[in-house]
Every structure is written in structure tokens, then in C-alpha cells.
A and B are shown apart, each in its own frame.
Chain A
Amino acid sequence: MSARVPRIAAGTYTAAPLRKPLGDWQAAVVRMSNLDPVTTEIIRMRCAVYHDCKT
């Protein structure tokens, strides 16, 4: 895999008025428990691959 070159200056984050509700929304989704853990993890991993997510 080729090395990544930062596209944005280090230390630049989404503005707080948007970052907080975005984080709160994602946290609210994670707290949902309707889907079983195995299916949830399979979907999470698939999304991470699709998005080339490194976290």
C-alpha cells in the first residue's frame, strides 16, 4: 500500500458546532441494540473496507 499524503493541514478538525452533533448522532446509533452483535460487526467491517477507514 502506498504511503498516504495528508490532504489537509494537521490539526484541522470539523468546526465544533458541527463536530459535536455529528459525534452525538454516531454515538446514538452505536447505542442501538436491535441488531445482534455479530451482524453489527460484519457490517462495521464491510463499511470500514468500503470507506478505506483506518480507525
Chain B
Amino acid sequence: MGTDATLAMHLAGAPDVLEQLNLARDAAWQTVDSRLLGLCEQRIREILGVTQESQLANWYADASLSVAEKACLAFTEEYMIDVANLTDQTAAAVRDALGDQATVDFVSALLVVEQRQRIALTWDTVFGAPQ
């Protein structure tokens, strides 16, 4: 079972909230390049320990990743660990790679993806994962 199952189970009593959460998820993936957002979601899962895989632990040395992807992965790591102290340089690297509009869209989509993972992880930890 995964994130979707956990969210669906715990929000079964609040179907309007679940519906809006899923609509936000769908919109995030439709708005932002899915490879880019997928890489960042994978890194989020690795940082939170949701997955035992560490495909992106050495992303900075991966020549197959683009400048934009690396900028967004660096942003994601700072966002996850200490969002209030995310540096101007890290934000500027994303903006330089994506442009203003796509940067704002990326950050909003990252919020959606990160919230889902954190909420599900919290519920799985406190109540146990759905079987």
C-alpha cells in the first residue's frame, strides 16, 4: 500500500478534503514537467525515509541530469530540511533554469507533492500503514 491508500483511508470521513487534495495532485503533475517533478518526489521520499532506495543520493554527480533538474533537486533538499533558510542562490538557480513562471509553478507543485508524502508518513507512523 502507498501514499494514496493511506490518504484515502484516513480521509474517508472527509471526502471533500480528499477530493480537493487529489485534484491538487492531478493539477501539480499536469502543470509541471512530470520527469522533473518525479525526480523531486523521489528525492523527497528518500529524505523522509518513505523508500529505502537512494537513487538520487548522489544526484549532483549524475551527468545524466540536466542543469534544471539539478537546480530543482538542490531546491527540494533545502525545502525539505529547512525551508525558511532556503538560500537566495538556490532559488536563483531554479529561476535561471526555469524562468519566473515555471519556478512559481514548480514550488507550488513541490508543496503539493511534499504535503502528500509527509501527511501519509505521519499517519502511517502514528496509526500504522494500511494492510
A35 contacts partner chain B, Cβ-Cβ < 8 Å: no
Report whether A17 and B27 are in contact in the complex, using a CB–CB cutoff of 8 Å: yes
Count A/B pairs, Cβ under 8 Å. 71
**B contact residues, range:** 20 to 34
Considering only CB atoms and an 8 Å cut-off, how many residues of chain A contact the other chain?
A: 24
A15 to chain B, nearest CB (A): 5
Given contacts A8-B95, A52-B83, contact A18 B103 (CB under 8 A): no
Binding site secondary structure of chain B: helix
Given contacts A5-B88, A24-B20, A32-B17, contact A13 B104 (CB under 8 A): yes
Report whether A22 and B111 are in contact in the complex, using a CB–CB cutoff of 8 Å: yes
Q: Which residues of A contact B (CB under 8 A)?
A: 5, 7-9, 12-15, 17-22, 24-25, 27-29, 31-32, 50-52
Complex: A20 Cα to B108 Cα, angstroms: 11
Chain B residues positioned under 8 Å from A20 (CB to CB): 27
A46 to chain B, nearest CB (A): 12
Report whether B20 and A12 are in contact in the complex, using a CB–CB cutoff of 8 Å: no
Which single member of A7, A29, A52 contacts B95 (CB below 8 Å)? A7
Complex: A14 Cα to B30 Cα, angstroms: 13
A30 to chain B, nearest CB (A): 10
Report whether A24 and B23 are in contact in the complex, using a CB–CB cutoff of 8 Å: yes
B31 contacts partner chain A, Cβ-Cβ < 8 Å: yes
Report whether A18 and B108 are in contact in the complex, using a CB–CB cutoff of 8 Å: yes
Report whether B103 and A25 are in contact in the complex, using a CB–CB cutoff of 8 Å: no
Chain B residues positioned under 8 Å from A7 (CB to CB): 88, 91-92, 95
Indicate with 1 or 0, residue by residue over B82-94, a CB within 8 angstroms of chain A CB atoms. 0111001001100
Within B12-31, which residues are at the interface with A (CB < 8 Å)? 14, 16-17, 19-21, 23-24, 26-28, 30-31
